Amino acid sequence: MIFFETAGQARTFLLLLYAGFGAGVLYDVLALPRRALPRFCQPGLDALWCLMTGAAAALVLAAGGESAFRLYSLLGLVCGAAVYWLGIRALIRGIVRFFKRNKNLQ
């Protein structure tokens, strides 16, 4: 049994990686107003994130010619978000902490 049944599914998977990465970035961007707004506005921002992420996934699946959300679709989104959260985001936060710490020493 092969994971991708058609060549288009591999392309769709890679596009879903990008969509998952974008979902991670969008979550961090929406975290800024989430901290500033009162607690009753926070679920609205979470719903906005869900709608935008779902729309991105639906657009990618439609562009890839897929008619259903399958397991590899979810895996692509999760892997893309994990690359952002565990890789890029952690690296950026480490660099910011390093410079903040060294700025206070001078």
The answer to whether position 1 is within a domain reads no
37 lies in some domain: yes
pLDDT digits (tens, 9 = 90+) for 30-77: 988 888 888 888 888 999 999 999 999 999 888 877 777 788 888 999
Handedness of CA 19, 54, 77, 69 (dihedral sign): negative
Q: Total domain count for the chain?
A: 1
> What confidence score (pLDDT) does residue 49 get?
93
Q: Is residue 48 part of a domain?
A: yes
Q: Global pTM?
A: 0.79
Short-list 90, 47, 53, 93, CA closest to 73: 53
For 57, the domain range is 7-105
CA distance linking residue 99 with residue 88, whole number of Å? 17
> How confident is residue 26, by pLDDT bands cut at 50, 70 and 90?
very high
> What one-character DSSP code corresponds to residue 3?
S
Domain contains 2: no
pLDDT in tens, 6-22: 777 888 889 999 999 99
